[in-house]
Amino acid sequence: MSVIFWNCAGGLVAKIDFINYTLSAFSPEILFVSEAEINLNKNYDCVKVPGYKLEVSKTISHGKARQAAYVKNSSDVVRRPDLENGVSEVIVFSNARSVICGVYRPFKNIQGTSPSQALTNLLECLNRVVETHKDVIVGGDFNVNWLSQSAFKNRVEEWAEGNGLLQNVMKSTRHRTVRSRDGNSEQASLIDLVFSKEPIKLDLHDIGCSDHLAIQVRLKTLKPKNDFSKRIVTVDWRNYSKEAVCAAWPKHLHLLDSQDDVRNLQIINSCLVAVSNEVAPKRVVKLRSQKEFVNSKIEAVKKKRDRTFKKFKKTGDIKYKDKARELTKVLKKIIAKERKRVFRAKMGSHGSK
């Protein structure tokens, strides 16, 4: 499975031949296209590609949607409009394995927002995307040169580090000729970025007709496992305390602006999420196959038995093996006792079953 991020530079309609070539040559699950320039009031049958569905961003900048995505009809990914904020050029998809987000940060911003405010809106939107799933891919044209130092680059870098994300693209992705008094020269920059929790494999392709290279991300295809256990996301309250909450609040409330009540409400909501994630983060818990007679005591003995057996496999010390066997005997007695209790309760009920 692969996903491609590409700034076509000049509008999707004019580059449809190159898009057809890309889809047929690489057969990606999703092809994100920046600077798509889709006017929703026009008929775009000419850009339809057999086997793929065209999605466009909810943001209409200067009357046009500037981010689009081709999604394979056979793909199991679904659009996630609940994670898109309507003021940033993002398109988000998800499936059971991961969340994939395509980004375009244009120079011209909608609704008269400043470049700084537009970047703030984008990063707030991406915070919600990142919190959704442990396996997240965020990529596209950020218009932030990763090879230089700037205020915007530093903010994106801080956002990535704060969410535990890695930037995977290491080579220049945009090459263009710049005229100067000394003659023409080539300018190279790295503004097409891909962020993920873990390092991922990717390739750069020169599709032509654009000064941007296309980034192909190769995602692992998970094989089905014969594992009937379930995993749930729960809140980890082990390190929660009122003192921790009081200490975390000041780190986030410094952005409040007393002149803008609507903006303050948005910041407070973001602060609530940030503080909650800090003092009571979410964690994935694996559930064993559920039995009616399983309770917390049985689970505690099982975990203790499993930890002891892991120590035996790690050290080879026979005392851990003997202890694991003893705990297995104790576990069987507890289960038998609990089974009797459950059955007695059922026999004492009024139902026929």
| C-beta of residue 163 within 8 angstroms of C-beta of residue 196 | no
pLDDT for the residue 132:
82
Q: Is residue 91 domain-shared with residue 167, that is, in the same domain? A: yes
Question: Structure tokens of 217?
Answer: 């991300």
Instruction: Tell me if 268 is assigned to some domain.
Output: yes
Q: Is residue 225 included in any domain, yes or no?
A: no
Q: Is residue 88's pLDDT more than 80?
A: yes
131/15 same-domain check: yes
Q: Are residues 75 and 179 in the same domain?
A: yes
Q: Are residues 174 and 237 in the same domain?
A: no
Q: Which tokens go with 122?
A: 């984008």
- pLDDT over 60 at 302, yes or no: yes
Residues 130, 62 share a domain: yes
List residues bridging with 184 in a β-sheet: 179
Of 218, 238, 260, at which residue does a domain stop?
218
What's the domain count of the chain?
Answer: 3
295 & 211 share domain: no
The parent domain of residue 310 ranges over 291-347
What percent of the chain shows pLDDT beyond 90? Answer: 37
Residues 119 and 26 in one domain: yes
In a domain, 207, yes or no: yes
**Domain presence at residue 196:** yes
Query: Is-contact 109 120, C-beta < 8 A?
Result: no
Mean pLDDT of 140-144: 94
Report the CATH number at residue 106: 3.60.10.10
The answer on 109 and 169 residing in a single domain is yes
Q: Is residue 326 part of a domain?
A: yes
Same domain, 96 and 36: yes
Tell me the C-alpha distance between 145 and 228, whole Å.
46
Work out the number of other CB atoms within 10 angstroms of the CB of residue 14: 12
Same-domain status, 246 and 103: no
> What residue spans of the chain are helical by DSSP H?
16-26, 115-132, 151-162, 242-248, 261-279, 296-315, 318-347
Q: Identify whether 224 is part of a domain.
A: no
Q: pLDDT for 215-228, tens place per residue?
A: 999 887 545 444 44
Arithmetic mean of pLDDT, 297-324: 88
Same domain, 323 and 296: yes
Same domain, 128 and 80: yes
With 70 as the cut, is the pLDDT of residue 10 above it?
yes
Q: What is the pLDDT of residue 291?
A: 58
Question: pTM for this one?
Answer: 0.62
Examine residue 235 and state whether it is found in any structural domain, yes or no: yes
For residues 23-51, give the mean pLDDT. Answer: 88
Cα 92–65–42 angle (5° rounding)?
125
Per the domain annotation, does 353 fall within a domain? no
